[in-house]
Each structure stands twice: as C-alpha cells, then as structure tokens.
Amino acid sequence: MKNAPLKKGDHLYLIDGSGYLFRAYHALPPLSRKRDGLPTGAVAGYCNMLWKLMEDMRGGDKPTHLAVIFDAGRKTFRTEIFPQYKANRPPPPDDLIPQFPLVREATRAFNVACLEQDGFEADDLIATYSRLGRKAGARVTIVSSDKDLMQLVTDCVVMFDTMKDKKIGRAEVIEKFGVPPEKVIEVQSLIGDSTDNVPGVPGIGVKTAAQLIGEYGDLETLLARVAEIKQEKRRQALISCRFKKSKQPFDIADALSNYNAEFGEMGANGADKAAPLADQ
C-alpha cells in the first residue's frame, strides 16, 4: 500500500505516543542495557504496547493511515499565555529522559509516522489531524484515554482506551461529563483541571457544571446571567471568577483558534505523511 492523502472512507488512527510512553514507564520495573547502563524499560514496554495494537488492527478494522504523536517539550504556547500551566508537575524522571529519542527511533522502526511540533502538545496535533480527517470524510480513531481529547469525539471520531479495551463515543462522553463532546470544554472551564494546574470555580464539580451548562447553554451566557443563580455561595463564586479570571480563559480560547487555523493550513497536506500499515 502506498502513502496517499486521506480521502472519504479512509480510517485514520492517531496514537497518543506520550501517553503510551508514560504508561509503559510506570507499568514496568527499571530495565537497562548491560554494556552502558542506558535505561530501556519504558521503550521496551512502549514497543510491546505498539506491537499489540498493530497486531490487533490487522485482525479487525485496520486503518489506512496511522501515526504516533508526541509532545515536543514542556514549553508550549499555553505556558506563554498562562505560566502556571502544568507548573505543579515534577520534571520527567532522570531515567526516562534518555529514552525520549529512543522511543521515536523505535516508532520509525515500526514503519509508523512519528509526529511532533515545537510549541504544541500532542493533543493539539491530534485535534488538528482529527479535523483534517473529518474534512476529508475519513473516520478517525484516537488511541488514548486522555479526558481532554473527549471534546473531539463526533459521529466519525471515536477514542480507544487500549488499557480497558474500550471505545469512547458520544454516549461515554456524556456519561463522564454529563454533556455531549461539544460542551465538554464549557464544563472543564468551570471545574478546572488540577492535573494541569488550571483553576476552576470553587465548589463546582462535574455534576453542577453540567447542570449549569445544560441550563444556560454555554459559559458566556452563564456569566452574563449569573445574577439569576439562586444559591448565594455559587453565585458569588462565579462572580468572583468572572472578574478575576474571565479574560484569561477567553484570551486562551482566542489564541487556540488562531493557532489551530494557522496549523491547519500548514498541515492541510500533512495527513498523507502518516504511514499506512503494509498489506499482509
């Protein structure tokens, strides 16, 4: 099978390589190369996971296009907009850092495209390629369990959690967030994300956020009509966040729109770089 641009009826697989690597690192005991002590445990685990996934693909709904996508580094446009973004996370373990280039070499050895972009996270590339796939009329499967990617789910984009052997579609997103995928970002704006050090509205969790978005439709409308909120504590919390933080999320949304548009133009012909599985 030759490399070819995505077209209607194709099936694009996008693998969250960074997620795979960290899972492998934490799942296996430390391993190293005897002659020089080079850590290899995470790479070995990653290769086993990728091999299993590719073998499973051959027996089922195999993709026409396949790519593994990595984070290029800790510094992205988000840290420029919000310096505290992910500031609560420790640096990568010392024995994992030497494996970053090795895992990319291993991916290419599988004849699978290995993609990353300075200034962006893997999530941004996955979102962009998903959009390009939808635009081309292709189906898209995102191999990841990252909740941030659930906002990308549509009728033609699904997620696949290999650890649980579970597909995540619209119904599963609604079950988790209480809203459909297109409203997930509204809920996340209210609840924040402690793992990324993104603050939310105090006292508002997923259930309350989903209820508010279900009633008011979106964050902007909710903030515009915040005086209607009957619960005093909740109303004051929303008002407080509105005046202290409201410009920041909206500025972030504007910046994301601009970056996505530019990257979409840059990557419009890039999906054909994803290596298809060889015919068996």
Is 22 in the same domain as 154? yes
Q: Give the per-residue pLDDT at 3.
A: 62
264 in any annotated domain: no
5 in any annotated domain: no
Is 185 in the same domain as 72? no
- What's the number of domains the chain is made of? 2
Q: What is the pLDDT of residues 217-244, one digit of tens each?
A: 999 999 999 999 999 999 999 988 753 4
Q: What percent of the chain has pLDDT over 90?
A: 65
pTM of the predicted structure, to 2 decimals: 0.84
187 in any annotated domain: yes
Q: What is the pLDDT of residues 57-73, one digit of tens each?
A: 887 778 999 999 999 98
Is 90 in the same domain as 125? yes
Q: Give the domain CATH number at 187.
A: 1.10.150.20
Range of the domain at 162: 11-171
Residues 92 and 41: beta-carbon distance below 8 Å: no
261 in any annotated domain: no
Is 195 in the same domain as 156? no
Closest by Cα among 121, 133, 148, 132 to 261: 132
Is 126 in the same domain as 218? no
